[in-house]
Amino acid sequence: MEKIIDENKQGESLVLEQKTENNRKLFIESYGCSMNFSDSEIVASILYKEGYNTTQKLEDADLVLINTCSIRDKAEQTIRKRLEKYNAVKRINPKMKVGVLGCMAERLKSKLLEEEKIVDLVVGPDAYKDLPNLLSEVEDGRDAINVLLSKDETYGDISPVRLNTNGVSAFVSITRGCDNMCTFCVVPFTRGRERSRDPQSILEEVNDLWNKGYKEITLLGQNVDSYLWYGGGLKKDFDKASDLQKATAVGFSNLMELCAKAQPKMRIRFSTSNPQDLTLDVIETMAKYKNICKHIHLPVQSGSNRILKEMNRLHTREQYFELIDNIKRILPSCCISHDMIAGFPTETEADHQDTLSLMQYVKYNFGYMFTYSERPGTLAERKLEDDVPEDVKKRRLDEIVQLQRQHSEIRTRQFVNTTVEVLIERESKKSDNEWSGRTSQNVVAVFPKENYKIGDLVNVKVNDCTSATLIGKAIEYAVI
């Protein structure tokens, strides 16, 4: 079984408050990582000013946009199916325009327009501000494309319109792109060089969210720990910065501290961390502030030193263990989750056993687990043969998933008979008499509604659990 990130949110169409003078309708769907969901809020904000209100009904739309993911072949196949569906609707309503945004737009570029003729508009992740121009080209009957990657675009000046929100938790993007060049990964090619967003604009967004009633933010980036602001420019150009710029540079732990202090009652989460960049000062800052949530998503991808090297992950298994030991020492209550890939090229049975034994050491709370999918243009595709047979990949993935299931159960059970702090986010999927929310450690908890409401922070006495959900009763309001 292959798991996907944000499984229950994939493809959700998004709605925002309506502007009465807007007379065109936008249907926008997002697939893939949280960054895509966050980017769609920027796109909706840009188009809101261009006269578009969003709609949840595909058939009503003047413009259909799909924010796409290229991370695995399966992700692209899902998008293609959606494009077929849009084109079926377009045959009935030929005025409707269809556009592809995000990683697939960047990877396939004009192919989508020329060879496949399935869309009117192709826009890469750094070109959303050009949407108004591109749309006027489309209106004049021409195909439009902009897939230029930028060295400085962070959309820091655009206030995202919050879409399909529970009004409680929101994403705040802090970096764009990735410089890591993991050999299996298409992201550095589709999202360009890593750049950080001005901390001032991040703080403004955080304060604005608090004023609008939000109670939790997630700072987003492909590799948040390498956040670095020194007055602008790319991460890779930091060496050329002046002494003053270097002395006043803001790193990730500083940024997190600035946010934690600016809104001491707001919960702060972050994703994703890369083991080679997660420094002790980040863990220490997490320990210092109660409002920074005690959960680290720490993808490792493999437990074998040889495979880690082939993947260009710049740490060893031993260094990863040292990091885990430090997290457990400084933050004993912290939950740790992972991403894992089964069947990377040349992976042997012994390498796979190393992955299982690494998991045994850490006993992760949860994880996202995948079979290796070769991506065109990546370093692995160019240098290595995809030589692990599909059935072997699947069997290894199954073993990884089974082991994770056992660990999740052990970890979740540890909370039974304790009291946990839960931020109420929504009604439970199973019962309309119950609320659902998450603990600081990112574990879902459900409990009877009583007089509590969405957005309340409550102490919940846990008396039972399933493998991933705590079941309990709220006993009082909690304070951060």
**Applying CB under 6 A, which residues contact ligand SAH?**
33, 71-72, 184-185, 187, 222-223, 272, 299, 301, 339, 341, 370, 372-373, 375
Number of H-type helices and E-type strands within the chain: 15, 21
Q: How far is residue 201's CA from residue 173's CA, in Å, rounded to a whole number?
A: 10
User: Do 266 and 212 meet the contact criterion of CB atoms below 8 Å apart?
Assistant: no
Task: Indicate which of ligand SAH, ligand F3S, none lies near residue 197 (CB less than 5 to 8 Å, by partner kind).
Answer: none
Distance of CA 12 to the CA centre of its chain: 15
Residue type, 376: P
User: Which string of DSSP letters, residue by residue, matches 210-226?
Assistant: HHTT--EEEEE-TTGGG
Compare residues 230 and 372 and give the one whose CB is closer to ligand SAH: 372
Task: Indicate which of ligand F3S, ligand SAH, none lies near residue 372 (CB less than 5 to 8 Å, by partner kind).
Answer: ligand SAH
Task: Indicate which of ligand F3S, ligand SAH, none lies near residue 188 (CB less than 5 to 8 Å, by partner kind).
Answer: ligand F3S
Compare residues 223 and 404 and give the one whose CB is closer to ligand SAH: 223
Which tokens sit at 314? 């710049």
User: Which string of DSSP letters, residue by residue, matches 82-148?
Assistant: HHHHHHHHHHH-TT-EEEEEEHHHHHHTTHHHHTS---SEEE-TT-GGGHHHHHHHHHTT--EEE--
Compare residues 86 and 184 and give the one whose CB is closer to ligand SAH: 184
How many alpha carbons lie under 13 Å from residue 414 in its C-beta half-sphere?
Answer: 14
Compare residues 196 and 373 and give the one whose CB is closer to ligand SAH: 373
Q: What is the DSSP letter of 290?
A: T
Task: Indicate which of ligand F3S, ligand SAH, none lies near residue 37 (CB less than 5 to 8 Å, by partner kind).
Answer: none
Contact set with ligand F3S (CB under 6 A): 178, 180-182, 185, 187-188, 222-223, 274
Q: At what angle do helices 252-262 and 199-211 cross, to 10 degrees?
A: 30
Task: Indicate which of ligand SAH, ligand F3S, none lies near residue 439 (CB less than 5 to 8 Å, by partner kind).
Answer: none
Compare residues 47 and 187 and give the one whose CB is closer to ligand F3S: 187
Task: Indicate which of ligand SAH, ligand F3S, none lies near residue 14 (CB less than 5 to 8 Å, by partner kind).
Answer: none
Compare residues 75 and 185 and give the one whose CB is closer to ligand F3S: 185
Task: Indicate which of ligand SAH, ligand F3S, none lies near residue 341 (CB less than 5 to 8 Å, by partner kind).
Answer: ligand SAH
Q: How far is residue 412's CA from residue 171's CA, in Å, rounded to a whole number?
A: 26
Q: What is the DSSP letter of 34?
A: H
Compare residues 67 and 272 and give the one whose CB is closer to ligand SAH: 272
